[in-house]
Structure 1
Amino acid sequence: MTRVRRDPRADRRAAQIASLDRPRFDLAGRAADGGPGRPRRNPRTEFAALRVTGAARPRFDRQHRGEGAVAQVVSAASTPNVIVVDAPAFLVAVVPDAPGGRLTQHDRQLFGAARTLAGAHGAVAALVAGEIEGLGAIGADRVAALASTQNYAPDVTAAALASAFAALSPRHLLFPETPDGGDLARRLALLTGEPLFPDVEQLSATSVSRAARGKRVAQRAAPARLMTLGADVVAPYSGPAREGRSEPLPTAEVSAPAITDARRIPADPATTPLTVADFVVSAGNGVTDIEAFRRLAEALGATPGASRVLCDAGLMPRASQVGASGSVLTATCYLALGVAGAPQHLQGVAGCEHVVAVNTDLHAAMIERAGLAIVQDAQLVMPALIAALESERAS
């Protein structure tokens, strides 16, 4: 049996496109016309089909390829994957601090530790007082509301926790090792008689450890029922969102608080040390009007800081220097005005949760570090912020 021998030169001449200066060939349409070969794939079209619609930045779903990729991508963007655990084998409860109804980074790490202990068969329950948004996104399968008090009443909160502890019977109950969280954990251990394993420094699904004997040895044990977790022990949960279903609790009998009048008096931001300040506004070499900077810091209620350049020039005190050779910050918000962002300065703000930078240089290192950047002269931004704050307070 014989077949006609194909002539590649004739095939190429047949695919040539006429009326062009240079020879060009339509290689994609050869198979459609019955010629030899197959349609040439267009990688740009396939890549465009993977793009997730509605995203501010270009994002692509590389798990879905081939036919139906567009429909699958749109479905994934419109209905995000939420994990639902209907009948968990056990519960791991978390009691975050959440000051002012806002989760701290330490609280988020607490949920990461709880997910490690829960594994694939358990569920994580958040025990919170008041409304807190986004608990499902950080790993909570259940959300139980505790009785809240207007004033500081740790004995009332501990009694409510003891009632919830008896009702839910969790395998583990985690607190942050903070002044408030550690105090509640020790009160609950006293009320329930459960042993407490405090200040966990290493955690896995099968073991926990902490420093003991003046940090000379590490004490290891199986995960206890009551534990407090140190900061930066476990990374926050970053997996798919959980259901965050509401979990009802029985009404607990709450007695009158032993502390009848307790108030939290905020410290003066002007005298607060930078290492413990929650909100820091810092001036760099781009700030020339130091008096306007001080007025802005006072209007914002922030602790003033400065870069090394201003401290070396004597414009700001040495105690206000931010950086590896000055103060290392753990502030919730850091506002940098005219700070270029030297490596030593960036080391000093590495622990800040939110960084806002004002600089005229779009490519400054501080702009790249910031979560929010204003590309403008700090001398123009400072009076505008002061005027906006005064207008808001007047209204």
Structure 2
Amino acid sequence: MIRRVDPRRPALITPQGLRRIVLGGTEGERGLRLAAVSHAAAKRPRLATPSERAAGCLLVLVHPDSGSLDEHAREAIAAAALLARPDEAVIALMPWPQAPDDPEVQASALDAAALGIDRLELLPVNAATSPEALAEAVAARWQALAPRLTLAPDRGDDGELGRRLAVRQPLACAAGVVEIADGRVRVRDLGGVRRAAADATAALDGLDLLLLARQVARTELPFTGLGECQVLPAPAPRALPGLVDLGVIAGQAQQVALEEADFILAAGNGVTDVPLFLALAEALGAAVGASRVAVDDGRFARSQQIGATGRTVQARGYLAMGISGAVQHLQGIRECRHVLAVNTDVSAPMVQRAELTVVEDVQALMRELLALLQAEQAAAPAASSTPIPSLKAA
């Protein structure tokens, strides 16, 4: 009888993340740690010196999304880390709602080192900070850092801030960059009335600012950043003559395009009470989506269909009600950050995709959830100016 070697015998994990078996030893950890050992532990920082002593830097402008960074921002940071020279630091300048109590804890929460950030600079802002004041503070920081190259995602607040910076300095800017390779950048030209759509290229050395489209760089890096963090002084208030800030008015979620929605409530074949579903969506402030089966049945409009044959969404929260999860539907929600599911079939593909699943009848759960929302609003009527619809009204 040949004795088998125990693959789970005690072993030691080296600083490089390798599993080393000591023959005859009894100390160490048992189990196959190959899947559990993170490859990030074996990665080394790209920059060997502190960021303050770096020979130069690349600057990335990103806005947080509810306290974290979305995939587009992570791709811009990864692109900067890949373009940086060995002696250049990658600095991420991020407007932050308020100054954190512990900057190092905040940098760790954002996974700054794993993203390739050598120094994270937080710029405290609030609702009263005007875009002009923010642009002025960013321009002052840009002049102090003198980065070789500045990058930002070409969308929303990041794209606007980058364009304001380009006008102030001024900077040679390339917007809508879809590829960076061989010292050149490729920009998608959508064309115009008298010309067809085509791509244009430009030399990277002649540019100061890159506004990146999606999927320009992969976020999996072979190295890490230093993960340092610094809190900058808040921008000075700047009054604009002739303008009065009346604050922000929340819009109706149902009027927002599904591609831009932050929270989506989606219905599948398991939703039979459509008025109840719509009342819940309005109470939650969620955009309404649907599966192809629900749309084909005539319960929802074709513009509300989510999937490969409908709309591709990237919401921060996606609540699937009674959706089994066909392949084409899962393709449409692959970029959603948090997916929740309500279903009675625990073997449904949507249950496997969801981070949290509630095994319950959809109609019963919607009634209870709507009742809780109505009770919460009744207890604090001053907290909300929009009444939550009742079942009768729905």
TM-score (ref. length: structure 1): 0.76
Q: Secondary structure at the match of 1:275?
A: helix
- 2:200 aligns to what? 218
Residue 142 of structure 1 and its aligned partner are, at CA, apart by 0.6
Q: Does 1:196 align with 2:149?
A: no
Q: Which residue in 1 is equivalent to 2:119?
A: 142
Question: Mean alpha-carbon deviation: is it higher for 147-156 or for 160-169?
Answer: 147-156
Task: State the match for 2:147 in structure 1.
Answer: 170
Q: In the alignment, is the contact (CA less than 8 A) between 2:138 and 2:165 conserved in 1?
A: yes
Give the Å deviation of 1:65. 2.1
Q: Provide closer, same or farther for how the CA distance between residues 147 and 288 of structure 1 changes in structure 2, counting only shifts above 3 A.
A: closer
Q: Which 5+ residue runs of structure 1 have no aligned equivalent?
A: 1-24, 29-39, 53-60
AA partner of residue 256 (structure 1): A
User: Cα gap change, 1:213/1:280 in structure 2, threshold over 3 Å: closer, same or farther?
Assistant: closer
Task: Describe the superposition over 1:306-358 as per-residue Cα deviations: whole angstroms up to 9, x where unpaired.
Answer: 22222222333333222233333232221111101122222322332322222
Structure-to-structure mapping, 1:234-245, within 5 angstroms: 234-238=217-221, 242-245=225-228
* Residues 51, 66 of structure 1: alpha-carbon distance in 2 compared, 3 angstrom cutoff: closer
Hey, what's the Cα distance between the residues in 1 that align with 2:221 and 2:71? 13
* Cα RMSD, aligned residues only: 3.4
> Do the aligned residues in 2 keep the contact of 1:328 with 1:348 (CA within 8 Å)?
yes
Q: How far has the Cα of 1:144 moved from its partner? A: 1.6
**Do the aligned residues in 2 keep the contact of 1:167 with 1:249 (CA within 8 Å)?**
no
In the TM superposition, residue 388 of structure 1 has moved relative to its aligned partner by 4.1
Higher CA-based Rg: 1
Q: 1:183 to 1:369 in 2, by over 3 A?
A: same
2:354 aligned to which of 361, 370, 383? 370
Determine the structure 1 residue equivalent to 2:93.
127
In 2: Cα distance, 1:262 partner to 1:360 partner: 47
Alignment of 1:1-395 (within 5 A): 25=1, 41-45=5-9, 49=11, 63-67=18-22, 70=28, 83=45, 85-86=49-50, 87-130=53-96, 131=100, 133-134=109-110, 135-151=112-128, 153-204=130-181, 206-212=183-189, 214=191, 215-223=197-205, 224-238=207-221, 242-247=225-230, 249=232, 255-257=238-240, 259-261=243-245, 263-393=247-377, 394=379
Give the superposition deviation at 1:119: 4.8
Distance 2:139 2:187 in 1: 25
- Secondary structure of the residue that 2:165 maps to in structure 1? helix
Query: Is the Cα–Cα contact under 8 Å of residues 339 and 353 in structure 2 kept in the other structure?
Result: yes
Determine if contact 2:139/2:169 at 8 Å carries over to the other structure.
Answer: yes
1:357·1:366 contact (CA, 8 Å) conserved in 2?
Answer: yes
How many residue pairs are counted as aligned between the two chains? 348
In 2 relative to 1, CA 141–306 (structure 1 residues): closer, same or farther, beyond 3 Å?
same
In the alignment, residue 227 of structure 1 is paired with which amino acid?
L
Residue 363 of structure 1: how far off its partner (Å): 2.0
Answer whether contact 1:275 1:327 (CA < 8 A) is retained: yes
Structure 2: state its 5+ residue gaps.
Answer: 101-105, 192-196, 381-394
Q: Distance in 2 between matches of 1:232 and 1:180?
A: 19
In 2, are the aligned partners of 1:111 and 1:237 still within 8 Å (CA)? no
Residues 176-202 of structure 1, C-alpha deviations (whole Å, 9 max, x = no match): 111322222222122212221222111
- Amino acid in the other structure paired with 1:310: A
Q: Per-residue displacement from partner, 1:212-247 (whole Å, max 9, x unpaired)?
A: 482323213115222211122222245565332123
Contact kept in structure 2, 1:50 and 1:62, CA below 8 Å: no
Kept after mapping to 2: 8 A contact 1:340/1:364? yes
The alignment partner of 2:256 has SS state of coil
Q: 1 CA distance for matches of 2:244 and 2:286?
A: 31
- Please state how far the C-alpha of 1:100 moved relative to its aligned partner: 4.3
Contact 1:119–1:205, Cα closer than 8 Å, also in 2: no
Q: Residues 197 and 240 from structure 1, CA distance in 2 versus in 1: closer, same or farther, beyond 3 angstroms?
A: same
Deviations 1:24-74 (A, max 9, x none): x5x55xxxxxxxxxxx6322326xx4799xxxxxxxx9722222883798x
Amino acid at match of 1:220: A
Distance in 2 between residues matched to 1:92 and 1:104, nearest whole Å:
20
Greater shift in the superposed pair: 318-327 or 182-191: 318-327
Higher relative contact order (CA 8 A, sep 6+): 2
State the secondary structure of the residue aligned to 2:163.
helix
CA separation of 1:231/1:262 partners in 2, compared to 1, >3 Å: closer, same or farther?
A: farther
Question: Secondary structure at the residue paired with 2:137?
Answer: helix
* % identical equivalent positions: 35
Question: In 2, Cα distance between the equivalents of 1:200 and 1:116?
Answer: 15
**Are residues 88 and 385 of structure 1, via their aligned partners in 2, closer, same or farther at CA, if it must alter by over 3 Å?**
farther
Q: Secondary structure at the match of 2:278?
A: helix
